[in-house]
């Protein structure tokens, strides 16, 4: 049975990019994966630090979506990898939420975001669900690092 999430509430709220699970990446601390993701749209500019310093993930998201800022030209090509790096680091950093992710077994993970047909499944369930797919990829990566039954690295 697929596992759906959207907000930071509930058993799988930690799957949200708005969940307060900070991490260090690229030599600095990020309060949430949303902060990191939005800031990467403006790599090499002062906008990165402005977004990193945002008080909330919602504020970081709003700032990242402002088209008055100079979006990096390769954003469409790199955004999935940026998200993958952020999500992986978040779950590597926090054993408690890593356990929640690993406990999902082989279930499909779906970001039930009604207005997002790229990262989520959209209102009709026809979206790409890229965040859900990345969470499942991260789950596979983390599982591959666990010792197997004989204590060898798998």
Over range 25-45, report the average pLDDT: 97
Return mean pLDDT, the chain.
Answer: 95
- Give strand pairing partners of 30: 23
Is the model's pLDDT at 150 over the cut of 80? no
CA of 51: how far to CAs of 21, 43, 88, in Å?
16, 11, 20
What tens digit of pLDDT does each residue of 110-145 get? 999 999 999 999 999 999 999 999 999 999 999 999
CB 87 within 8 A of CB 33: yes
What is the total residue count of the chain? 154
Indicate the fold that domain 3-144 takes in CATH. Answer: Tetracycline Repressor; domain 2 (1.10.357)
SS3 at position 115: coil
User: How much is the pTM?
Assistant: 0.94
Is the model's pLDDT at 105 over the cut of 90? yes
CA distance 19 to 32: 6
């Amino acid at each position: 049975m697929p596992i759906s999430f959207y907000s930071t509430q509930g058993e799988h709220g930690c799957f949200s990019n708005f969940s307060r699970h900070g991490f260090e990446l690229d030599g600095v601390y990020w309060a949430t994966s949303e902060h990191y993701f939005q800031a990467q749209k403006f790599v090499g500019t002062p906008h990165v630090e402005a977004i990193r310093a945002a008080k909330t993930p919602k504020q970081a998201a709003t700032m990242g979506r402002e088209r008055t800022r100079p979006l990096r030209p390769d954003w469409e090509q790199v955004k999935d990898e940026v998200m993958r790096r952020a999500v992986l680091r978040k779950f590597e950093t926090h054993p408690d939420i890593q356990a929640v992710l690993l406990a999902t077994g082989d279930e499909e993970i779906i970001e039930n975001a009604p207005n997002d047909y790229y990262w989520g499944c959209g209102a009709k369930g026809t979206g790409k669900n890229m965040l859900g797919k990345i969470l499942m990829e991260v789950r596979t990566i983390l599982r591959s690092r666990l010792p197997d039954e004989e204590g060898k690295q798998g």
